[in-house]
């Protein structure tokens, strides 16, 4: 196990099956976008139209190239945020759902409090900022379990590739899920990757098979995929 903090839970009932420093505060990078999507989905309908704010031009470094002023349906931004992990998509969703970036971040932290995430604080909708943007494996497992019970959220994060029609001059976009377990690991159905230099590799992963549904969280890992595969192997062996 290379992660600084990790946990494996039964998604059906929340039972902790294995943990390593589950309450250690760590940077969580783009796994923050799980909360961004949760809050936005609870405030926006899929076909609500969002006018992309001019501030998206200042977002770095990972962005899908949204143009200020263009009109985009919310569901497209959910794929851009959760599959491609576009920081401009996350910001556009935040402003569309919360009115302003700062108001939306306040909503993220309010939601965290409501879910009992006592060791979590969000600083941005993208997770790009490490300072004061942190959580724990325990809290991220609680958030992800909550998110995965939302069928709209679940439908997005289980998708491996999504081709989306777009207005000219873009015409179409193809989003490829950065979670490499999707389509390659039996039963994988979510949820989100993350990386910054300080956070290292972060991965929240969900696998559902006959008779069992597990969620694993690894934060600050050198080998996030290796870590979660070990956790899932242990979890499914334990469930017989």
Strand partners, 190: 206
Q: What is the pTM of this model?
A: 0.97
**CATH homologous superfamily, domain 5-238:** DD-peptidase/beta-lactamase superfamily (3.40.710.10)
Q: What is the pLDDT of residues 177-225, one digit of tens each?
A: 999 999 999 999 999 999 999 999 999 999 999 889 999 999 999 999 9
| Spatial distance between the Cα atoms of 132 and 129, rounded to a whole number of angstroms | 8
| Spatial distance between the Cα atoms of 34 and 192, rounded to a whole number of angstroms | 7
Positive or negative torsion for Cα 15, 118, 41, 164: negative
Catalytic residue numbers, as ranges: 30, 33, 85
Sequence ranges of the domains in the chain = 5-238
Mean pLDDT of 119-134: 95
């Amino acid at each position: 196990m290379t992660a600084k903090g990790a946990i494996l839970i039964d998604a059906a009932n929340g039972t902790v099956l294995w943990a390593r420093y589950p309450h250690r505060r760590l940077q969580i990078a783009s796994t923050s976008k799980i909360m961004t999507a949760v809050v936005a989905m609870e405030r926006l309908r899929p076909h609500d139209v969002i006018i992309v704010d001019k501030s998206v031009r200042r977002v770095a470094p990972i962005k899908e190239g949204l143009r200020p002023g263009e009109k985009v349906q919310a569901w497209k931004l959910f794929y851009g945020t959760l599959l491609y992990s576009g920081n401009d998509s996350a910001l556009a969703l935040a402003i569309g759902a919360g009115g302003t970036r700062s108001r939306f971040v306040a909503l993220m932290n309010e939601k965290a409090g409501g879910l009992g995430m006592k060791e979590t604080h969000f600083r941005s909708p993208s997770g790009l900022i490490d300072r004061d943007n942190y959580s724990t494996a325990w809290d991220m497992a609680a958030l992800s379990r909550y998110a995965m019970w939302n069928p709209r959220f679940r439908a997005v994060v289980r998708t491996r590739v999504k081709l989306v029609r777009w207005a000219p001059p873009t015409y179409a976009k193809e989003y490829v899920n950065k979670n490499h377990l999707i389509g390659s690991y039996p039963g994988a159905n979510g949820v989100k990757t993350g990386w910054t230099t300080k956070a290292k590799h972060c991965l929240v992963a969900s696998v559902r098979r006959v008779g069992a549904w597990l969620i694993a969280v690894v934060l600050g890992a050198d080998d996030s995929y290796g870590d979660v595969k070990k956790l899932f192997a242990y979890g499914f062996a334990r469930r017989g």
